[in-house]
Structure 1
Amino acid sequence: MQMQSQEKEVRNLEKRFAELSRTAYQREIITYTDFLNLNEQNILHTLPKDMLYTQFISFGGYETAERQMTAFIPEALYLRYGKKDLSPDETGYPFCAVRICPVNIRFSEQLTHRDYLGAVLNLGVERSRTGDIIPDEKEAMIFVHNDIAELILNELTRIRHTSVKTERVPLCDIRYVPRYDEIRGTVASVRLDSLLALAFTGSRSKLSGLIEGAKVYVNGRLITSNGYQPEEGNIISVRGMGKFRYDGCTGRSRKNRLTVAVSKYI
């Protein structure tokens, strides 16, 4: 029964993507999804091309965002702009960021990602209308659909025991640069399981279960093959563990193993 329910959800999502693409094509406008999680992005990436009428691009507010909104863009708009690629500003994504800060830092708690998310959802907001949440030491930034931004700005005044204030931040003013640790090591070959073992400091045999368990995504695509070979610049996300960027092969060791580098996001 659960499997049938999941299959139905997938079919409904596929139909929704196709409908948005068809509308964009017929009306020569850009259409948008809600924020998509990794599973939903994978469904979009694996959708048969004959179900789509347009190209699509995804963006989540910053370069390596996990939750992303997809825009379906008709060929007519590319011709109108006279270029093959549109920037996020030109695409006009209907979302912004909201910065959440304590009213008085001296009387504030150390809030977590879960605290911020829970407070927003308790306002009656659906998760699909929110993107990534980026917590810092004493504040956080959350990406939200424009149509719920005012609700959060007006109603979010307290998280746990901390009084908070909010501020809208336009996408063009976002200057967030993810922090990461650079990790270097040697591998016999550039395989997905080898890179996981390097990034998360574990054995290939142990971490390969994450791949087989459908928990590993490369640039939003679900990968279930341990031997998959990522390309330089690919973002590899592991549900429940984090993500890292594969920075490429830098040479060979004395034992003729490949020297590779990854950037693990903090």
Structure 2
Amino acid sequence: MKLDIYDHFHRDEREFVDRAWEWVVNAGQYHEAKLTDFLDPRQRFILESLVNRHPDVHALFQGGHADAERVRALIAPDYRDLEGEDLKMKVLSISSGDQKFLELDHGDYMGSILGLGIKRSKIGDIHVLEDGCHTVVAEDISSFLHLNLSQVHRVHVMTELLPLDKLQVTHTNFDTMDITASSMRLDGIASDAYRISRTKIVVPIKAGRCRVNWKVEEDPSTNLKEGDVVSIQGFGRFKVLETGGLTKKGRYRIKVGKYA
């Protein structure tokens, strides 16, 4: 079945749209429930859009805490009560007695977990704590991680599996910077945020390596707004935190935060 909703999504997203629509149809017509892996915010938006198109389907989204970025979804016929459903998640607690452990960051933990052959879709949010790390993981791979994750960036670690109610959450830390720009164009703000020339930042954008709010964006002239999250492969992520008034020379005052 071809959906007119395809018109609203990037061509690279159509494979996921097809899979998500199949989940929705199976729930509505064949009374099948589907528990997804972890979805990023863009995938969640797509799935919610498709669920809303079907009158006999609803879904529950959970990621371990109210503000989770990555969530699992349970899609089911609308007559099924989803309150209190278990979306099969565990907390992988990572700790170490090595002082170098305190220097590890989000990327170190992610790299070590993925290095064990785990797919990104099996991992939820990673919370780097002052004395360790709590990672939300799919229950079906939790025991494997508990048994096999022994090092993070060459630091020996110990792991423990905890229930979701023991999850310790950290809020995102930003390295903030104030910039001024002649417009709210993606290429202009990104070049200042990453401290490279506009000519160079245009290349990965046009190559499809840029996402705005987790959606592929290939147009360098796209205007950003407050709250937008931009990621460019190889450069990291930043968020437009504030857009102030204009300077005397008519330039926009913008505060951006690079994800630490």
TM-score (norm 2): 0.72
User: Displacement, 1:223?
Assistant: 0.8
Q: 2:189 and 2:62 mapped to 1: Cα distance?
A: 25
Q: Give the match for residue 146 of structure 1.
A: 139
Contact 2:52 2:58 in 1 (8 A): no
Call closer, same or farther: CA 1:213–1:11 in 2, change over 3 Å: closer
1:182-241 Cα deviation digits (max 9, x unpaired): 211111111111221221122222212221111111111111111112232121122222
Q: 2:195 and 2:144 mapped to 1: Cα distance?
A: 42
1:22 aligns with 2:25: yes
1:208 aligns with 2:202: yes
Q: CA RMSD in A?
A: 4.1
Q: Give the match for residue 256 of structure 2.
A: 262
User: Which residue identity is paired with 2:219?
Assistant: S
User: Displacement, 1:145?
Assistant: 0.5
- Pairwise mapping of residues 173-252 of structure 1 onto structure 2 (< 5 A)? 173-252=167-246
Q: 1:55 and 1:207 mapped to 2: Cα distance?
A: 41
Q: 1:237 and 1:60 mapped to 2: Cα distance?
A: 21
- Pairwise mapping of residues 1-266 of structure 1 onto structure 2 (< 5 A)? 13-26=16-29, 31-36=34-39, 41=42, 45=46, 53=54, 63=67, 65=69, 68-71=70-73, 73=75, 76=78, 93-102=87-96, 104-105=97-98, 116-117=109-110, 119-121=112-114, 125-133=118-126, 139-159=132-152, 162-172=155-165, 173-266=167-260
Contact 1:14 1:47 in 2 (8 A): no
Contact 2:102 2:130 in 1 (8 A): no
1:126-177 Cα deviation digits (max 9, x unpaired): 4432245455677433331012112322443445764421133444533211
The worse-fitting range, judged by mean Cα deviation, of 209-218 and 109-118 is 109-118
Q: 1:234 and 1:251 mapped to 2: Cα distance?
A: 18
User: Which residue identity is paired with 1:221?
Assistant: K
Q: 1:184 and 1:23 mapped to 2: Cα distance?
A: 49
Q: Give the match for residue 84 of structure 1.
A: none
Aligned positions, number: 245
1:65-102 Cα deviation digits (max 9, x unpaired): 4xx34526568379x79xxxxxxx97854323312111
The worse-fitting range, judged by mean Cα deviation, of 163-172 and 241-250 is 163-172
Q: Percent identity?
A: 25
The worse-fitting range, judged by mean Cα deviation, of 138-147 and 193-202 is 138-147
Q: 1:118 and 1:258 mapped to 2: Cα distance?
A: 37
User: Displacement, 1:44?
Assistant: 7.5
Call closer, same or farther: CA 1:226–1:241 in 2, change over 3 Å: same
Q: 1:123 and 1:145 mapped to 2: Cα distance?
A: 15
